[in-house]
Structure 1
Amino acid sequence: MMSLFDDDFYSTKVSKRIKRETKGTSLKLPFQFRFRFRGYKLSTLQIALLSSLASSAIVVILFVLFTGGISGSGKLGASTSGIDPSERAIYATSKVRPAVVSVINEQTFPVGAGGKKSGKSEDGNGILREAGVGSGVIVEKKNGKAYIITNHHVIADAEKVKAVLTSGEIREAKIVGSDQITDLAVLEIDAKGINTVAEIGDSSTLRAAEFVMAMGNPLGMGESITLGIVSVIREVVPVSLSQNGIMDWEQEVIRVDAAINEGNSGGPLIDLNGKVVGINSMKIADFGVESIGYAIPINNAMPIVESIISKGYVPRPYLGVYTIDLEQYWSQQELQKWLEEEQPSTNEENEDGEELGGDQGNGSTPMPKLQLPDEVFSGVIVLEAVGPAKDAGLQYNDVIVKLDKKKIGSTRELRKYLYNDKKIGDSIEVSYYREGMLQVTSFKLGDKAEEE
């Protein structure tokens, strides 16, 4: 029977012609492999064995070079940098998953609100029920307690907080402290049975297009993992701390295209080594916008977390004023003027001719008229002075235009100057207008404790 390839080159059999020609003689190979090593002649089999050993050694050397070598435990492959990205993602998430928790924010609602009862409130005037669900990650264990990082907005206004472990166990959580400026908070739970603490990475080493994963509990649906890439390593986005649409602060964030949905907030952003490089915080929710999410860099978050754990709050220089931007005031004045011109007054009179009151146009009492020079268009209006500012004589309706020699045009600029350029106990010079006159006062910045 003929072979598939009927010629001497592809056939595994020796042809009859060769058999006839070599009958009675020994069959010699086309090439004779002869090699001497210190006087010893090596056979073909020995050379093959040596080649195999050399190849194995080269493979091991390459593995060490490209995967990080041998771990401290003596096992190869402790680093996963040479593994297929999908396998690395599986490894990384399995490493962090036990440290990821769901965070339940409970608040008091009137009896029967939402059709769900979860227990009476402490004052007995309503019931505690779930007001929101977010995520968190366990980053430290000490003295029998486990500490969880989450977002400030996840636990804002909570009367009670609960943490749900990956096992499904629900534990009471205590709010150690919260910082609205950075949108970070720390919770404390009993560490019994907690065996995994997330490893903290280095967000400064992130690169654009690097794979990252957002972990958490989106929409209260349970555990979730989304994979994406780093779009922008460092981006500064305006935020509204008071949630009124006025952008009064700027947040430094990592922009990613991994889906960060409601409920993912507070969960970890991890790299393919299973290290936490960020805390999921927010996303752009707008028509036609998809997969633009933001995370707080872990290098920015950890000093805040450490301060909250040790002090219960984040110490920052404290001026002691509640403000509104002068630009916002002008906008309100223009709106009020337009409403008065376009809409008739709805005030009614009683039988004695007294006004009963009515619609002011925007539903709020307009601020009193300001007396300012014509050239002053920007600054911040003092709504209330407390602490150091009150002691220094600042009052309602004063318009701050400078801190030291720096012009201040908005609450955002005021905060940035205080938090970035000043320290607790520093002296500060405040220039402000009162009844049209420029005045200057100096005093020392305080330390704003959490309760203030």
Structure 2
Amino acid sequence: MGLFDDDFYSPKVSRKALKEHLGARKQGGWRRFRLKNRKSLQLVLMSVIATAVVITALYGILFGFSPTKKLSNLDLSARAVHASDTIRPAVVSIINEQKFSLDLNGGALEKDSEENGVYKEAGVGSGVIIQKDEQYAYIVTNFHVVSTAHRVKAVLTTGKRLEAEIVGMDQITDLAVLKVDAKGIDYVAEIGDSSKLRAAEFVMAMGNPLGMGEAITFGVVSVTRETVPVSLGQNGVLDWEQEVIRVDAAINQGNSGGPLVDLNGRVVGINSMKISNFGVESIGYAIPINNVVPVVEELMEKGYVSRAFLGVSMIDLQQYWSRQQLEADAESGEDSTLNLPKEVYEGIIVLEASGPAKEAGLTYNDVIVKLDDTKITSTRDLRKYLYSNKKIGDEIVVHFYRGKQLMKATVTLGENKPES
């Protein structure tokens, strides 16, 4: 007896069972053959496709080729064209006109001069229409584009020239709002969100470079948020810091005030300045639109931006020393005019005190060295502390030297209302 003596495990097969088995195989054999080969064919096809993908990827890595590269470029170009077409009707050119004397000198007259003269184009810039009501359309541009103008004109993309009125200006943020007759203006730019910008994102700078008419430059966001020192008086003294977006899209004279636009056709910034030193290329700056909007709203409401007001005309102590070139005093460690202690070499000289500062006792030649507990070394420091930390009506402790004596005064801050 074998190990497998029962019928279930027995290796012995009867002729009848074998015949029945072979008959069943003849009937279903072709079906099983087709099923088996279909699965094999699918495996082969999948292997071929996978191999092709791998080879293409390796080829792209080695030779810089991508089968979707051309398609991506076409898509990028189409988006840029669509975005520019969308916003173009809202982009305007700004013309700064000043009145010049009719005499032989032909110099520019003061704004409030009643002398007869002739208006001439003194500068160009750009702007963007951001709001419209039944009567007026409102345009955002830069402060430095219109601050010296005796009158302003806005030129639409259709070539139509409109008389523009300055609604409000703010030197600190370099922004201004104009208004023009709304008749015939049908489009207002869509405002984006500058906080969502990413480095290497494509953007367009639009405006009127060099007065040559509307133009578009294309580039990427280099830095999404950067702080750069600026000279508010355009005199080379860096007395403020501006938060900006850095881009490599060309921004030339005349582009100032125009929109920085994303590929959805939305305004994400207002073009403001560029670095034009020798050897520097494609470094431009735009004011983030998220910073622009609250300033514009306040300019439209009040005509100015309300900030805390200390009431001092000032100059940096170091700037004063460099101007006077007091070499002898520098060697001795003291300044004979101000009579300061030798350890005091940074601070702010009060040239004139008015309003809150005058009421608190500050006067000419006082040298401010600290506000509250914050050391102040420059005009930039003073403005930054004042505008960032204080509100109208707050008290501030001013520490200052009057000669060699360190003194302090508590000032109740006022409001910086513009002179009427």
Give TM class, smaller chain. Answer: 0.7 to 0.9
Q: Is contact 1:255-1:292 (8 Å) kept?
A: yes
User: Does 2:73 correspond to 1:105?
Assistant: no
Instruction: List runs of 5+ in structure 1 lacking aligned partners.
Output: 1-29, 33-80, 339-366
Q: 1:96 aligns with which of 83, 87, 99?
A: 87
Partner of 1:438: 406
Of 251, 254, 270, the residue aligned with 1:279 is: 270
Matches within 5 A, 1:101-250: 101-111=92-102, 123-250=114-241
- In the alignment, the residues of structure 1 paired with residue 298 and residue 133 of structure 2 have an alpha-carbon distance, to the nearest angstrom, of 15
Report the Cα distance in structure 2 between the residues aligned to 1:133 and 1:336, rounded to whole angstroms.
44
Mapped to 2, the partners of 1:233 and 1:382 lie a distance apart of: 37
> 1:447 is aligned with what amino acid?
E
* Alpha-carbon contact 2:310-2:411 (below 8 Å) kept: no
1:236 is displaced (CA, Å) by 0.6
Q: 1-side partners of 2:156 and 2:184: how far apart?
A: 10
Distance 1:229 1:112 in 2: 49
Q: Which moved more, 1:139-148 or 1:216-225?
A: 139-148
How far apart in 1 are the matches of 2:90 and 2:148? 25
CA drift of 1:111 comes to 2.5
Q: Secondary structure at the match of 1:84?
A: helix
Where does residue 385 of structure 2 map in the other structure? 417
Equivalent of 1:391 in 343, 348, 359: 359
Contact kept in structure 1, 2:101 and 2:115, CA below 8 Å: no
Which residue identity does 1:95 align to in structure 2? T
Report the identity percentage.
65
> CA–CA distance in 1 between the matches of 2:258 and 2:185?
17
Distance 1:113 1:100 in 2: 38
Q: CA deviation at 1:114?
A: 11
Query: Shift in Å at residue 142 of structure 1?
Result: 2.0
Distance 2:105 2:197 in 1: 44
| Structure 1 CA distance for aligned equivalents of residues 158 and 336 of structure 2 | 58
Q: C-alpha displacement at 1:98, in angstroms?
A: 0.3
Q: Which has the larger radius of gyration?
A: 2
Question: Which among 283, 293, 303 is matched to residue 302 of structure 1?
Answer: 293
Normalising by the residue count of structure 1, what TM-score does the alignment of the two structures yield? 0.73
Per the TM alignment, residue 244 of structure 1 is displaced from its structure 2 partner at its CA by 1.2
Q: Which amino acid in structure 2 is aligned with residue 376 of structure 1?
A: V
CA distance in 1: counterparts of 2:325 and 2:371, whole angstroms: 28
Q: 1:374, CA displacement in angstroms?
A: 1.5
- Is 1:372–1:435's contact at 8 Å kept on the other side of the alignment? yes
1:39-118 counterparts in 2 under 5 A?
A: 84-111=75-102
How far is the alpha carbon of 1:448 from its aligned partner?
A: 0.5
Contact 1:257 1:291 in 2 (8 A): yes
Q: Is the 8 A contact 2:202 2:220 kept in 1?
A: yes
The 5-angstrom pairing of residues 253-292 of structure 1 reads 253-292=244-283
SS of 1:303 mapped into structure 2: helix
Q: CA deviation at 1:377?
A: 1.3
**Corresponding position of 1:408:** 376
Alpha-carbon spacing, 1:335–1:135, altered in 2? closer, same or farther (3 Å): farther
Could you list the per-position Cα deviations for residues 142-171 of structure 1 after superposition, in whole angstroms to 9, with x for gaps in the alignment? 241110000000001111001001111101
The residue type paired with residue 370 of structure 1 is L
The alpha carbon displacement at 1:336 in A equals 7.2
Q: 1:395 to 1:128 in 2, by over 3 A?
A: same
Determine the C-alpha separation between the residues in 2 that align with 1:306 and 1:368: 49
Equivalent residue of 2:224, what SS? strand
Q: Any conservation in 2 of the 1:324–1:411 contact (CA below 8 Å)?
A: yes
> Equivalent residue for 2:26?
none
Q: Using the alignment, how far apart are the partners of 1:31 and 1:216 within structure 2?
A: 70
2:140 and 2:105 mapped to 1: Cα distance?
29
Q: Does the 8 Å contact 1:322/1:385 carry over to 2?
A: yes
Specify the SS of the correspondent of 2:325.
helix
Alignment correspondent of 1:347: none
Q: Which residue of 2 aligns with 1:59?
A: none
My pick for the range that moved more, 315-324 or 385-394, is 385-394
| Corresponding residue of 1:451 | 419
Q: Which residue of 2 aligns with 1:427?
A: 395
Render the CA deviation track for 1:263-303: whole Å, top value 9, x for unaligned.
00000000000000000000001111111100000001110
Q: Is the 8 A contact 1:317 1:418 kept in 2?
A: yes
Cα shift at 1:386? 1.2
- Give the AA of the match of 2:78: E
Deviation at 1:333, TM superposition (A): 3.1
Matched to 1:266, the amino acid is G
Residue-by-residue CA offset, 1:2-53 (whole Å, 9 max, x unaligned): xxxxxxxxxxxxxxxxxxxxxxxxxxxx979xxxxxxxxxxxxxxxxxxxxx
Alpha-carbon distance in 1 for matches of 2:274, 2:383: 23
* Closer, same or farther: CA 113–131 of 1 in aligned 2, 3 Å: farther
**Aligned partners of 1:327 and 1:377 also within 8 Å:** yes
**Distance in 1, Cα, partners of 2:233 & 2:138:** 27
- Range moving further from structure 2, 398-407 or 368-377: 368-377
The Cα shift of 1:122 comes to 7.2
Q: How far off is 1:443 after superposition? A: 2.0
RMSD over aligned Cα atoms: 2.5
Aligned length: 345
Distance 2:34 2:211 in 1: 73
- 1:382 aligned partner: 350
Match of 1:361 in 2: none
Matched, 1:329 2:320: yes
C-alpha distance 281-370 of structure 1, shift in aligned 2 (>3 A): same
Q: How many Å separate the matches in 2 of 1:193 and 1:449?
A: 35
